[in-house]
Copies of this chain bind each other. A is one copy, B any other.
């Protein structure tokens, strides 16, 4: 980890974050690290029990952990009910942040009808389209292309090479990573069988926008299409990892998080506090209620009305065993008929 040059005592950390300190209050901390990698001036954390075995050998000067773990620990500890959250807050102190310079870079191109507020930063080779508004404290990184009729709220950051195509509204403190594309046309096509020629696709105009709430994070190369008529919506505090595809007119509830490579088809509504595993797929026109967990690479093909965890797929096997079993999947119905369909009670 890079050095930030910043130092703080264990006692100050305890006070500032409301944690109990066990150990030397005057110990100076100047950075963070893993249990295995941190040195005597660094803070580490123990949250996942899987890493408990690394605690004894750790050279970390100070470790955030639960009370139960601290009881048997010789070194200095900060006691937290949720050590990962406490660590995340403390670590932010040591993050070397270079705020981009406010102002419009001379290579940026800003449409005369766009409005860039005082204190916003527009980086090299960025372009801002007509009637778009960039709030104070927002940062538009190098190579971003903002089209027409977009709004970017205060404190929001487009890291680099982000595209907002048209009619995209971001709330405050939204963070968008490079390569993300918001507001491209939804995939609306209709097969025209009229006329004498061969049937061909015609494009259904995509006229809606994208609205992203406060405190959302959108990963690298993620795509969120504009709605066909109404908007595609992310409520506040939605967290999307990289390479996620959100189709037109999807609505994602507040505090929902999705791991990388998830695909959500059009017009589906997802509730609040859902957690969608990596590379899962969610079909179109569904309703997923609050607090649904979907495991990795699961395909959701129907609406979900009960909170809980959902899965599909088959277990990992060596390919030879897999082939022997997989071919039997084709005979499953015949097999079940031969055995006699299990009664509902047995399912």
Contact = CB atoms under 8 A, between A and B. Distances in A.
A25 interface: no
B167 A177 contact: no
Nearest to A247: B260
A118 interface: no
B300 A316 contact: yes
Interface string A186-224: 011111111000111111110110000001010111010
B187 A259 contact: yes
B338 A339 contact: yes
A26 interface: no
A209 to B, nearest CB: 9
B85 A202 contact: yes
Number of copies: 3
Contacts of A271: none
A201 to B, nearest CB: 5
B127 A147 contact: no
A313 B315 CA distance: 8
Contacts of A84: 190, 204
Contacts of A299: 279, 296-297, 313, 316
Contact of A325 (B184, B239, B332): B332
A261 B245 CA distance: 8
A207 B91 contact: yes
Given A125-B145, A189-B239, A335-B339, 18 more contacts: A2-B207, A32-B207, A88-B202, A91-B204, A94-B205, A145-B160, A145-B161, A161-B181, A184-B219, A187-B219, A221-B223, A241-B245, A245-B278, A278-B281, A295-B319, A298-B316, A315-B327, A328-B332
A105 B230 CA distance: 33
A16 interface: no
A1 B94 contact: no
A188 B302 CA distance: 30
A334 interface: yes
Contact of A316 (B191, B260, B311): B311
A328 to B, nearest CB: 4
B184 A220 contact: yes
Q: List 8 tightest A-B contacts by C-beta distance, closest first.
A: A334-B342, A334-B346, A309-B319, A311-B322, A163-B178, A187-B241, A181-B220, A109-B124
Nearest to A97: B205
Contacts of A189: 217, 239, 257
A284 B241 CA distance: 14
